[in-house]
A and B are shown apart, each in its own frame.
Chain A
Amino acid sequence: MRLLRVAGVAALVGAVALGFWLFQLDRHITSTFEGRRWSIPARVFAQPLELYPGRALSADQLGLELERIGYASGRVDAPGTWRREGRNLQVHLRRFVFTEGVRPARVVRVRFEGTHISGLEDGAGASLALARVEPPVIGSIFPGHGEDRLIVPPGETPELLLETLKVVEDRNFDQHHGFDPAAILRAAWVNLRSGRVEQGGSTLTQQLVKSYYLDNRRTLGRKLRELAMAVILELRFEKQDLLNAYVNEIYVGQDGARAVHGFGLASQFYFGRPLAETTPAQIALLVAVIRGPSYYNPFRHPDRARARRDRVLEQMHEFDLIDAATRDRAQASDLGTSRGDRRAGRYYPAFMDLVRAQLQRDYDPKLLASSGFRIFTSLEPVVQESAERAVRRTLSRIEAKRDLEAGALQAAVVVTHAQTGEVQAVVGSRDPAVDGFNYALDGQRPIGSLIKPLVYLSALERDPDLHLASIIDDAPVALTDARGERWTPHNFSGGPRGPVPVIRALAESLNLATVQLGLATGVEPVAERIGELLGEPPPPAWPSLLLGALELSPLDVARIYALFSGDGFAAPVKGILAVEDRAGARLDRYPLQTRQVGDIASVLQINHALTTVMTRGTGRGSLYAGRGVAGKTGTSDDYRDAWFVGFDATRLAVVWVGYGDGRSSRLTGSSGALPVWDAMMSELPVMPVEMPLPPGHRLIDVDFETGLRADAACGDPVTIPVPLRAPVRSKPGCRLDPGDELRNLGNRIRSWLD
């Protein structure tokens, strides 16, 4: 009797303990399941490739771009395919939700004439003005645990994948309640016979539970826990939900430091293609890999992967999922893996730094990393890659040529759209794959002569009689500051040049003339304009500011020079164009803005001078010296920082070269930074800067050295704009066309009569 009672109490206690244990498990697994269902990283997109008649793009280039985002060449009967037809290309564009709205999947025909698109038509043959390929994903913003997934919504997983999964991993999925005793017994039997673990007995549900925990210990206690949790999940949720969670959760591989979870991302990772576009052979490979993503890694162990894939294909045929012909074709085919999407450049950490910095201001980081936001940026992959290549090759070349320590020089590049301020590329360091210190955004270095155009701009604005041919004095200057310390600047090379025209002082970057002019105009206007352009309090207006004793990042320099590339209108520099939520609803737009930050006529004169920098001045060693581009070199004290800023009609670029630890590189802006810019621009189309005549000005030829009117016979002429009323003397010994003198005289008389 007592035994029975004791047994009864023990049973009761046991039941309570069990109940409590189950209750805990229930809470745990349910909250995990529901929480993970909603944790989706943000996706970051680059600029889409625009297609229009007149666009400089060859058929080959378009094909490459399409392959890069996973389009398959062949028949164009489904989205994500393309076909070459002689000189033309037919593309079945995928559906995409752009920031302006949904673009349904559609067929376009692109006609080419050599280097350009000559025509564009839709599927019916009607001509189109414009179409675009959906933008590539360039990065994701993850929650801290370093996972990545591309969510496949319920109903969008290919049926064949779901059926194959069940056949291979869990034949009784639709019937069991979380675990499958028959499967466990069968697996035990097979493993016993073969002497090794060939089959698991776990259901998909159990695997799902297992995937929620990093711990791989296969203790009995753990297995029991997982079994219980699997049962709980089956009780609480629908089979469809569990299957969909599995599809998105299962661990499928490793991408460097990032774990790849879910078939959506697995498809991108292994094949560079969306899951919806996978072939039966590829589906078989995806299912094959689950059993051991490292062991069956198709990149590292292609033979093993292929063998297992072929076994899966057998099973697919055995269970009537595919016919014999499909199986044979699939088994004969290559693995179909593509590393294209996983190039070092695919994730652009330096540009992503800019994106993150701009987002952090407006969004909670946790929300940002888990709500599946879609972030549209201004990155241009072609420009980015040209910049990266230019840095890599040029630095190596410079180090070899000058016998410098190999691999030690650093560089940064920022490229922006000349008129809109949109950032097209950011190179943060010499090695673009490394997510380390970002010299483009965070490296603050003295800008040296880069400041001079601002000095001359203020001078032109404040003195209506000053113009590019005005003579200023490149003469020694000495200042004593409040503490009694003397500042005696020198020219970079050579002594004082004496009287020089403004155009020459800026083109040759003469320090003394700049300081003379700057002191006469005042340093405050220069400081204030810098503050205005950077959106910060102005720097202190010490005289040394005139020679660039100011530390800025390359990104800041881009903000300043936007004023020049925009003809007096500075557009704020930005990397993000729009942010949307997962459904495509607009959360935020960063619209186009611009602001007039200088007197237009004065800015146009400075731009003229900046082109003369390239034809005659410190930039004349450039490959583009005669091509109508504008630029400015800069070198800081002791050759620690080599700068070059250049722009054409399309884009503005800032280049910095130096050592990370700040030691001298013995490089100047011309010898260190300008070659990087040359190398980058040589891969891009270059259009001369448009230089309208400043209002109220005329063009004349003056001798570059003296600033006096001259022609080729008696001097070294440059063409510059000067105010209509400005008298410019002729160079002695010049016999100039009197017509111009008379016209000038006529202008002056007319102006008196006005």
Chain B
Amino acid sequence: MTQRPDNSESGRPELLAGYVDGELGPADRATIEAWLAEHPAGRAELEAQRALSRQNVVLWKRVAVPQPSESAWNKTLGRVCDGIRPSTPAVRYHEPESARRRPGTWKHWAVGLATAVALAFVSWSWLVPGGVPRPGDSNLAMADVFAVASNDDVDIESLQGDIGLLVVGRPVLGGPIELATVGDIVFEAIASDTDLQPSKPTGVPTDPKKTLLLPPIDKSTPVPVP
């Protein structure tokens, strides 16, 4: 468990870190120096901060990160270049002449013709009555259009702000929930609450598969007679 140094007069123990790193303004620096003069024991905490600061060059040299080989660097650069190929619109690199399209080949004509046929079909479907799929049409493959991302498809790039807790994982509910209604509940009693909290009915849903969600009730809420 971390301990706060007894610099209650300064009120901000973290100032010791800023002092060690030379990041304090003159006023805060003077505060810390005055506090250290009156609390010599605080120097131990100051040295603890200094031991793990950038100033401790000896430490950081001893625990220096081992370096990759030049071939590992070259492979990484190669993969970076592969990752930003001209297929992405943000960065365009000069392609060799041979990679550019040559107009007039039969393949291009075939692709163009197929595209035109597809466009014509879609247009006909929209123009002809009954040709447009209606919502609720069982033949409509909505699932293919609205693909839902799974957990593994999402990468969190950054978290803005001081996030204290981020819960990740699969939802506790395996699927859609069906809420219980008033008619699904057998009321056993109305519990009176002396803690100035709204009274709550107690009971269980007749169908255990349904999730019981009840708001607090007050005297004006009609209570069904079982």
A binds B: no
